[in-house]
Amino acid sequence: MARSFSKGDPGRVAYVNARLIDPWHGRDEPGALLTEGNRIAQIGPGLFSDGVPDGIGTVDCGGRILAPGLIDIRAFLGEPGYEHKETLATGTEAAAVGGVTTVICLPGTDPVIDDAALVEYIERRAREDAVVRVHPMGALTKGIEGREMTEMGLLAEAGAVAFTDGDRAVADAQLMRRALAYASGLGLLIVQHVEEAALAGTGCMNEGELALRLGLPGIPAAAEVIVLERDLRLVELTGGRYHAACVSTAESVACLANAKTRGLPVSAGVASHHFALNEIAVGEYRTFAKTSPPLRGEEDRQALIGAMRDGTIDVIVSDHCPQDQESKRQPFIQAANGIAGLETMLPLALELHHNGSLPLMRVLEMMTASPARLLELDVGRLEAGAPADLVVIDLDTPWRLSEEGLVAKSKNTPFDGRPVQGRAVRTVVAGHTVYEFSPRV
């Protein structure tokens, strides 16, 4: 069970016999780390070579990886309004189990996080109930209805770290242009769900041969690319910072690569299920594999991995979208989109290292330094003075993901029974151990 980090002084703790990996500084070496209160005090290969002094607590990492705590910049945490699907308490417990120490939550709650009072409410509730750090994104438009811009400046002052309409794309090009121009003047980040709603229509999976065979309406890759290409033109007009959330197609990768070559201030994320699965996971109408954007073809999946390797895609996200049983146990067309991903993001990402697709440093960079830099967060690195947000990772032990093993309130996962290798075994937030793995006897 995860524990709160918000009370008490954790004192001084030495993490010894560790493999220190810090993508922010390019560090990968054996060594030790000392935390004092909620900050890192010292770090290095020779630290405690003569033993740990009396009065300092000790955690023996046993040669395992000690890295900055993971940062997930796209998760839905339920509160307020959808507590039957997830809460700040249960969602952040799941995050701690997954080695995630900072969660950026989406604004599509009830009511929508579209004014400063709601931002402050989320931060207050997180201080009371969350076991990891939580920061909200603010809504880009009022009520996420795509008609009128929110007061982004006021929302940012209250603590919103970026602006998005969650799983809805802003369809109005003039509105998006104004939003990017306004955000540019304040240095704010606009996050877009890249899907043209009218073209996606009633589609519920990737358009193609499999959808035809299953008799299901498809969502073409063009629905993603049309919005992305339009927005990139608007970025060129305005100079606004723009992030494409959860890209899923090879065509999107090509568009993003071109934009980056031209020096546009753009970035992109990929959900762990989009590089771990393809459309075949839908199988015989498996609603747990229904996502937005949909799982795509194998060529798209491979293109995403290539884009992660070369830096075209910047961050890995869980796209945690909890759904209760009633929402998923429906005919495929009617079932809700989404996967419970906070606990599976790390082991799925480690697959990319184990199968040789990506270097381990790059895998961890996309869940630590890259999201921290993107949102200008004071986390995501191992250095003296930095927050003591850490994860100890067992890189090699094999195990199986299971639906019943998830601690999230909703357990909608297509990964039940999937063999994986590696997991978080200790999660530390502000110097406090909030999760420690205990093998079942």
How does pLDDT run across 24-80, given as a tens digit for each residue? 999 999 999 999 999 999 999 999 999 999 999 999 999 999 999 999 999 999 999
Give CA–CA dist 409/48, Å, rounded. 41
Task: Tell me whether strands 266-271 and 205-206 are parallel, antiparallel or unpaired.
Answer: unpaired
Query: Could you tell me which residues come within 8 angstroms of residue 365 by beta carbon, excluding any fewer than 6 positions away?
Result: 23, 24
Find the largest Cα–Cα distance for the chain: 68
Q: Does the pLDDT of residue 269 top 70, yes or no?
A: yes
What ranges do the domains of the chain cover? 68-375
How does pLDDT run across 114-159, given as a tens digit for each residue? 999 999 999 999 999 999 999 999 999 999 999 999 999 999 999 9
Average pLDDT over residues 423-435: 98
Q: pLDDT at position 6, please?
A: 61
Q: pLDDT at position 2, please?
A: 60
Q: Does the pLDDT of residue 394 top 80, yes or no?
A: yes
pLDDT top residue among 6 and 213:
213
**Distance between start and end Cα atoms, the chain:** 16
Q: pLDDT at position 441, please?
A: 47
Give residue 4's pLDDT band: very low, low, confident or very high (50, 70, 90): low
Instruction: Identify the bridge partners of residue 219 per DSSP, sorted by sequence position.
Output: 206
Catalytic residue among 231, 314, 319, 394: 319
Average pLDDT over residues 70-95: 97
Give CA–CA dist 411/219, Å, rounded. 25
DSSP 62-84: TT-EEEEPEEEEEE---TTT-TT
Q: Does the pLDDT of residue 335 top 80, yes or no?
A: yes
**Computed over its alpha carbons, how large is the radius of gyration of the chain?**
21
- Percent of the chain residues past pLDDT 70, beyond the cut: 98
Find out whether 168 and 155 touch, Cβ atoms under 8 Å.
Answer: no
Q: Does the pLDDT of residue 1 top 60, yes or no?
A: no
Nearest to 353 by CA among 392, 309, 405, 296: 309
Could you tell me which CATH number the domain at 68-375 has?
Answer: 3.20.20.140
Q: Does the pLDDT of residue 182 top 70, yes or no?
A: yes
Q: Does the pLDDT of residue 83 top 70, yes or no?
A: yes
Give CA–CA dist 113/79, Å, rounded. 10
Would residue 319 show up in a list of annotated catalytic residues for this protein? yes
Instruction: Produce one character per residue of 267-292: b if its CB has 16 or more CB atoms within 10 Å, e if not.
Output: bbbbbbbbbbbbbebbeebebbbbbb
Mean pLDDT of the chain: 96
Taking CA atoms, 107 is separated from 17, 89, 121, in Å, by: 41, 17, 12
Give CA–CA dist 409/413, Å, rounded. 12
